[in-house]
């Protein structure tokens, strides 16, 4: 499921909220999938096209079903390093020519790597879709990898790690918490990689990753915009159809990686230069596997909304505004992933309060919810916010493409989004209380505390060149 977007709190009047919910849901159901088309090329490339004729724009994205979860120990970060290397050119389109051609066409492009997939995208005028496909299909198999380029780019990635994690106390706390929470699952490794692995990574590591995973039968091409689906299929066949498939393990063929059950609370303290302490708590929880029959992930999604779905949600109302124990407090939940899910609580203590004070207050809010449950008005408000967020985000072609690509890349289907929305609307208050009681317990909890150290007075480092996301 997509993360919550905070919106202005709706009136607690239950009939009004229900009317809004029904209205928005019907709007979503009527239009979301009526113009989506699916094709498969002879080489195994899957193409999903969604029509959106409001403006003469097209989004083209290629998603590879390989991310940091597919890396092996000692080579963490290689998926992200290869993403950087993908912009180094081919024989036909050398150097930075890829980016220059997209820019000259009035478009923009970028890429991103996650635990579960790696994706590349372009946004252009609809008439320039052939250009995007020509360039992207070329580097699917014809990337020119050199020792010299690798040497430059690995230094950029190491500096990126320093800038975004090592020098960011909260990011560092989350990285350490995740690494402690997961005992064996590769989610314990950061997407950017451990610094030692980056320092010892070789050119052959990056080349092996490219040769292993970058193939049409391990990819999804997503096109959203002012297009004719059949014409897009013809273009895809023209530019991608000649790319030979490779022997790639499909998602259902890869070895299952089941995280051993946690048998008690884990705690850690992270010392880093910072002004304020910070608390992060992570509970193991299930991820969505069967959209039609699962119910716990939907209830956990609603639980996150009850605690932190808007400015009037429980944590902000109780801990920040009323008790003033925290200057900020939040909740979140990972539900759509190839691996296990996790439910998060976090926050920054107010001046004069400690991380222990905040932890005790967060625990009390969970106890209160389990004891007293959730009101129908509260739940209806969160449901309306979730539906409204989905509908409003459909205004963005990029979001529509991201929605399709993410679901398809983790083994679900773009069609599941409609099921997900409907199932979220059926969650009951009792189910929300049940999942809070079942999963927000110490046996599955990891607690990380930032112990702020004195800040060093130094000039800020210049950002590394070559960052693409």
Active-site residues: which are they? 83
Give 457's contacts (C-beta < 8 A, 6+ positions apart): none
Evaluate whether 208 touches 150 at the Cβ level (below 8 Å). Answer: no
On the 0-12 / 13-18 / 19+ scale of CB atoms within 10 A, 83 is: buried
Evaluate whether 412 touches 291 at the Cβ level (below 8 Å). Answer: yes
Q: How far apart, in whole angstroms, are the C-alpha atoms of residue 31 and residue 194? A: 44
Show the tokens assigned to 176: 């350490």
Evaluate whether 118 touches 125 at the Cβ level (below 8 Å). Answer: no
On the 0-12 / 13-18 / 19+ scale of CB atoms within 10 A, 383 is: buried
Q: How far apart, in whole angstroms, are the C-alpha atoms of residue 369 and residue 308? A: 13
Evaluate whether 414 touches 36 at the Cβ level (below 8 Å). Answer: yes
Q: How far apart, in whole angstroms, are the C-alpha atoms of residue 199 and residue 158? A: 8
Residue 90's DSSP bridge partners are 143
Which helix or strand (DSSP H or E) is residue 225 part of?
Answer: strand 219-225
CA proximity to 62, closest of 98, 105, 29? 98
Residue 328's DSSP bridge partners are 348
Q: How far apart, in whole angstroms, are the C-alpha atoms of residue 301 and residue 297? A: 6
Give 119's contacts (C-beta < 8 A, 6+ positions apart): 61, 62, 63, 64, 111, 112, 405, 409
CA proximity to 86, closest of 139, 45, 158? 139
């Amino acid at each position: 499921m997509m993360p919550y977007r905070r919106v202005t709190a709706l009136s607690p009047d239950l009939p009004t909220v229900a009317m809004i919910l029904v209205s928005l849901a019907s709007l979503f159901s009527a239009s979301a999938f009526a113009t989506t088309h699916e094709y498969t090329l002879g080489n195994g490339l899957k193409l999903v096209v969604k029509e959106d004729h409001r403006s003469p724009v097209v989004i083209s994205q290629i998603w590879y079903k390989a991310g940091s979860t597919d890396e092996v120990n000692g080579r963490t970060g290689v998926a992200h390093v290869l993403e950087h290397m993908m912009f180094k050119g081919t024989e036909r389109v050398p150097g930075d020519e890829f980016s220059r051609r997209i820019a000259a066409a009035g478009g923009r492009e970028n890429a991103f790597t996650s635990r579960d997939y790696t994706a590349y995208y372009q946004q252009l005028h609809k008439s320039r879709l052939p250009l995007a496909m020509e360039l992207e299909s070329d580097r699917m198999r014809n990337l020119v990898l050199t020792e010299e380029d690798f040497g430059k780019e690995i230094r950029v990635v190491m500096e990126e790690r320093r800038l975004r994690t090592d020098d960011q106390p909260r990011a560092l706390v989350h990285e350490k918490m995740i690494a402690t929470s997961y005992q064996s699952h590769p989610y314990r490794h950061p997407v950017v990689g451990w610094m030692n692995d980056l320092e010892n990574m070789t050119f052959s590591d990056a080349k092996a990753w490219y040769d292993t995973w970058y193939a049409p039968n391990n990819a999804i091409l997503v096109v959203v915009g002012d297009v004719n689906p059949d014409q897009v299929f013809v273009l895809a066949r023209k530019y991608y159809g000649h790319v030979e498939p490779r022997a790639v393990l499909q998602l259902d063929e890869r070895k299952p990686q089941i995280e051993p059950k946690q048998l008690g609370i884990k705690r850690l303290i992270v010392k880093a230069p910072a002004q304020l302490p910070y608390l992060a708590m992570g509970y193991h929880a299930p991820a969505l596997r069967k959209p039609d029959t699962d119910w716990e992930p939907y209830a956990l999604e609603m639980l996150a909304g009850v605690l932190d779905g808007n400015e009037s949600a429980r944590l902000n109302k109780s801990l920040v505004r009323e008790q003033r124990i925290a200057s900020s407090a939040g909740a979140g939940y990972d539900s759509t992933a190839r691996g296990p899910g996790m439910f998060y609580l976090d926050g920054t203590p107010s001046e004069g309060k400690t991380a222990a004070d905040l932890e005790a207050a967060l625990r009390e809010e969970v106890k209160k919810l389990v004891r007293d449950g959730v009101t129908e008005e509260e739940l209806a408000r969160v449901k309306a916010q979730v539906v409204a967020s989905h509908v409003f985000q459909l205004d963005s072609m990029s979001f529509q493409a991201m929605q399709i690509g993410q679901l398809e890349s983790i083994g679900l289907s773009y069609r599941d989004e409609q099921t997900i929305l409907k199932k979220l609307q059926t969650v009951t208050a009792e189910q929300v209380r049940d999942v809070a009681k079942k999963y927000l317990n110490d046996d599955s909890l990891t607690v990380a505390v930032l112990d702020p150290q004195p800040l060093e007075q130094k000039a800020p480092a210049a950002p590394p060149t070559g960052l693409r996301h």
